[in-house]
Chain A
Amino acid sequence: MRSRQNIVFCLIVAALLPVLTFSGGVKQEAGASKKEVKGVAPAKLIVSGIVGNPGKFLEKQKELYQKANPLSVVEWVTTDTNTREQVLKTAIASGDPPAIGYYWGTRVNSFYKNGMCLDLKSYFDQAFIDKIDKSMLQPCLGKNGEIFALPFATVYHTTFYNKDMMDKYGFKIPETWDDMTAIFKRLKQDGIFGFSTNSASMQDCLYGITYGELETKVGPGTSWGVANGDVSVAPGSPAGEVIRSCILQVKAWYDAGYWYPGKSGINTTADDANAAFAQGKVIFIFNFSGALSTHQDSCKFKVGAFMKPTSKAGMKSYDNIEPSVYFIPSNASKDQIYGGVEFMKVSLSQEAQQTVVSNFQTPSVQNYAYSNVSDTLKGIMEKLSSGNTIAGINPTRTSSEMQTFIKTQIFAAPLGGTMTIDQTLNEMERLRLAAKAAAK
């Protein structure tokens, strides 16, 4: 009797197991196909991927869009720098996408190579596309001419400085690494640190010192090649040895105690770094140019910006443009697409672009007549046409794994002693090769 009961029980479990295991299945949805721009703006237009507070120019876009579409309300979904990609991809993959994703232009390829971005080419006429700065649009283009995203502003990694402190000590803008070291050495005597940066999640701001070195010492186009995964960075390779020299220079600054706040410099948050700069504890901060508004608001002193110094005098300095782009998920609904397209048109209007300029960011339409452009922003915008700033030379666009590595480990690992410089370069090379293999 008991054995019969056991047999019946085992049979029930055995029957249920396959049902549980193989029922449901995996989502097979391949994404929405191209839709026409017919529809109505959704009651709620969700724009996801905003880092921190939306800021005045985003609020202006919202105001203009809602004026034109009174029945549609814009809702921001804010994220952290670290979780931005996660939040967007989770929403899209789960079938509940926002109407618009807001992301870094040079890294939006991590979305469109997974089929997550709608091709916008058929939704905008050529005249509209032509007014956008080509260098900012370039990272948003697919291999076959698709337009997967549109930039509305751009930033690039720069070095902000405390103008008042520079004047007080009589320092000139440093052009070489030795100039920087001399400034740091002098300030250390007065208990002031040389520089700070958001090393917890944005070490690529500091990584920018490699671009000028790569372009000069290896050859023009090397930075792009490294970011594209085409150029080897293994120990012993030309590009690898240039990166090694940059790491060694930063290590020298770190070991000498010039990096705020000391040993924790390799794991400092954006808030800590910005606060230290505002409090006059450091003279320089490696940041992205969009942080100018943060520094203008929080600093009582005048803030300036300069391109990163190079190892030798006379070398040209370069930095990476990072357009802020909007894209529409490929599985967005018809109404979301309609609303998204309208929002993008508004974001590139003269009024919206003027607000970008008024808030110390660089607009993506250069041909409008802008008023009240601050001196610092003029200097930043001039760099865009100087040829010193190039989109897509940041290797964070190679792959998501490379992005994590560059942002959190490229300096922290060798400086903190968890990896040797050889191991750091080998890891970077491994990630490069893995990205190339995945692309095939």
Chain B
Amino acid sequence: MERPGHAGYGLANYARCFKGIMWREALRHWHQRARFLSALVRPLIWLFIFAAGFRSVLGVSIIPPYETYVLYEVYIAPGLMAMIALFSGMQSSLSMVYDREMGNMRALLVSPFPRWFLLAAKLAAGTAVSVAQVYAFLAIAYFWEIEPPSPWGYLAVLPALILSGLMLGALGMLLSSVIKQLENFAGIMNFVIFPMFFASSALYPLWRVRESSPWLAFVCELNPFTHVVELIRFAFYERINFLALIVVLATATAFLSLAIMAYDPSRGMLPRREGS
């Protein structure tokens, strides 16, 4: 047995800590099962009501990865998967602010393990929940003929979902370091979630946006969420969008690095606020 006082932590100690953080997040979600279900309601409403209503208005031409004309529901399905990951990431951010207000965050941060490891473990736990939500969504959407060309698509999309979950979770973690109180969280909805979601290719292809406003299309291309959507869309069709992969990898690394810096007591923003 490794005593806590002996020099250095081994891999086994790290694994136990990682498992403990994952287990705690799993328990928390088990206690809040309604939250898991409510996270599915939002994309399902978009799929069954919004997409059905706009099916005849918004035609989608043949654009990669599609090789035929597709129904609007089929087009927006990857965007809705990305939407689940986006809301899940922001929900993690909300949880971290709540933990900070309730004092639970201190219990985590005074652990002797390196701060980056604790945050990465928490991020992995949030991503696992996000991926589970997407598969639950896909299971329901299957009955409305939203499915990949072959069953392998369900497996091929997994790495894209994990990477997207990590990227959006890291963004949520970074935002949690600058949100002072839970009450300020509404601002995240208005200034982060809505602009990211609507200024992307989630609901309409960018060539459509470009027709109306080249400037707006350029903004959409810069939006990392567009690349999350495209990464998932291509992966669902067992293809790789390399530009999207690079952008999502780069932004995930940047957001996580900034979040770790923000939670680092010597460099971050947390200690600068009295009583936080």
A pairs with B: no
Interface residues of chain A, those whose CB is within 8 Å of chain B, are none
